[in-house]
A and B are shown apart, each in its own frame.
Chain A
Amino acid sequence: MIDAINAIKLTNAQIAWRAAQDIEDGVYVNLGIGFPELVAKFQPEGREAVFHTENGVMGFGEAPVEGKEDWDLINAGKKAITLKPGAAFFHHADSFAMVRGGHLDVAILGAYQVAQNGDLANWSTGKSGVPAVGGAMDLVHGAKRVAVLTDHITKKGAPKLLAECTMPVTGVGCVTRVYTSLAVIDIEDGHFVLREKIPAISVDDLQAVTGAELQLTSVVKDLIAPKV
């Protein structure tokens, strides 16, 4: 089953491409560290979002070429960035006022697990080790839309979309949409609602790798991402 799914699933870049299609022109967006950062590369022609990073920058652009880094100019992942015209700097309390205060339009985060009521687990696997949270627990509150990018199943084939999270949660009832390697799923009234799926998988097979009921309240569209 894992091999069959790996053969048909979207790549991380394709998941990021799909999420980018929902970002309107002129919105303020925070992209989580790692895989969600890819979303910035796939902004549709003619649209420009303004990207926020927790450590006090609004309006940053791509990474500088190697050797041109300025280590006073980094993102929350500690990677060097550049500025776009109209950028701004601010301190950490103002940065998180933007987050918690409801000013960000979209936050796009990674996930270990998402529950059908919108609970998100993405900060701790619950195993021993050094716990670290960063801005994850703040980002899940305040943004008008909190979307998740994730593989549909774990590397071992277990569902990541569940009835309830088994790992420690980052936030309760916070996720509104999930972009997976197989589907686009909204969270509405405590349920997963299937909006789009890749044509290569049937609804039954998708349900089989999803840990809670997928509701079909509207026509399920084909999820087709270009090779990116």
Chain B
Amino acid sequence: MDKTLASLREAVDGIGDGATVMIGGFGGSGAPIELIHALIDKGPKDLTVINNNAGNGHVGIAAMIEQGLVGKMICSFPRSADPRVFTELYLAGKIELELVPQGTLAERIRAGGAGIPAFYTPTSYGTDLAKGKPTAEFDGRMYVQERWLKADFAIIKAELGDPMGNLSYRMAARNFNPLMATAAQKTFAQVSQIVPLGGIDPEQVVTSGIFVDGIVEISSPQQEEILNREGAVYP
């Protein structure tokens, strides 16, 4: 078995118009910048993108939005140091937003990957974000029903990958990446290093290769924070 891909393009080639795409990362940490930029190069339209944020500056997800790929964002916090790209389109009514509390977003993705169609959470009970959702009392406390979240594709970032698709992560760049890997029909990871089988200690594998369809090595991945400080714009 060898899930190694020769190019970034191969990883994003199946992502067509109207697809739902989970993109790993929290702000810039764990964001698969090179895969996102390869997706911009391919240029599908009307994507639904699931991420914690809605882009920062003019690279990564912000560049996807700016280049007209995104019809809808599902996220918890569409603000950033430089949120102008999303903000302007949102206020002009040209992009849809589904706002989800961060822990609910994580759990909906986890549920999607785990085959759990719905669950109850105390989060958002009694707030505007719970409007229209079923509620129920358990042990004297009120909870809100939330549904699973799944995607056609997940593009994620990891530190090490092996040919079977086993992945380990680097520091807080883990965040949503292992969850999203489980919840998509197809998951593609960019990794900083592809190691031989056995190169990741089985004790240290965070994402089993069963969740991963392809890996591509990007040995010195770009960091969104640094690109933004340089004023980078993609393309």
Contact = CB atoms under 8 A, between A and B. Distances in A.
Given A78-B81, A90-B174, A100-B121, A138 B127 contact: no
Contacts of B129: 133, 137
Interface string A93-129: 1011001100000000000000000010000100011
Interface stretch (A39-47, A169-177, A215-223): A169-177
Given A73-B172, A92-B106, A92-B179, A133 B101 contact: yes
B175 A91 contact: yes
Given A134-B77, A138-B101, A92 B28 contact: no
B212 to A, nearest CB: 15
B56 to A, nearest CB: 8
A169 B126 CA distance: 8
A65 interface: no
A32 to B, nearest CB: 13
Interface stretch (B34-42, B64-72, B83-91, B195-203): B83-91
Contacts of B107: 93, 96
Interface string A73-88: 1100010000000000
B120 to A, nearest CB: 11
A142 B122 contact: yes
Contacts of B20: none
Given A73-B171, A130-B91, A131-B99, A137 B178 contact: no
Interface stretch (A51-59, A153-161, A183-191, A195-203): A51-59
B76 A133 contact: yes
A130 B224 CA distance: 22
A72 interface: yes
Please tell me the size bucket of the interface on A.
35 or more
A154 B161 CA distance: 52
Contacts, number: 144
A67 to B, nearest CB: 12
Contact of B171 (A89, A95, A138): A89
Interface in A15-52: none
A142 to B, nearest CB: 7
B103 A96 contact: yes
A172 to B, nearest CB: 4
Contacts of A54: 102-103
Given A92-B106, A130-B79, A132-B99, A100 B123 contact: yes
Contact of B173 (A72, A124, A128): A72
A95 B99 CA distance: 19
Given A89-B171, A142-B122, A96 B102 contact: yes
A95 B86 CA distance: 27
Given A133-B99, A137-B123, A91 B177 contact: yes
A70 B102 contact: no
Given A72-B29, A133-B77, A134-B76, A89 B127 contact: no
| 7 closest A-B pairs by CB | A96-B103, A138-B103, A172-B126, A92-B106, A137-B101, A141-B122, A135-B102
Given A131-B99, A132-B99, A134-B77, 18 more contacts: A55-B172, A56-B26, A56-B175, A69-B225, A71-B28, A71-B224, A72-B170, A74-B28, A78-B26, A78-B28, A91-B175, A92-B175, A130-B79, A133-B99, A137-B103, A137-B124, A138-B102, A169-B126
Interface of A: 53-57, 69-74, 78, 89-93, 95-96, 99-100, 119, 124, 128-138, 141-142, 168-172
Interface of B: 26-30, 52, 76-81, 83, 86-87, 90-91, 97, 99-107, 109-110, 121-129, 169-179, 206, 223-226
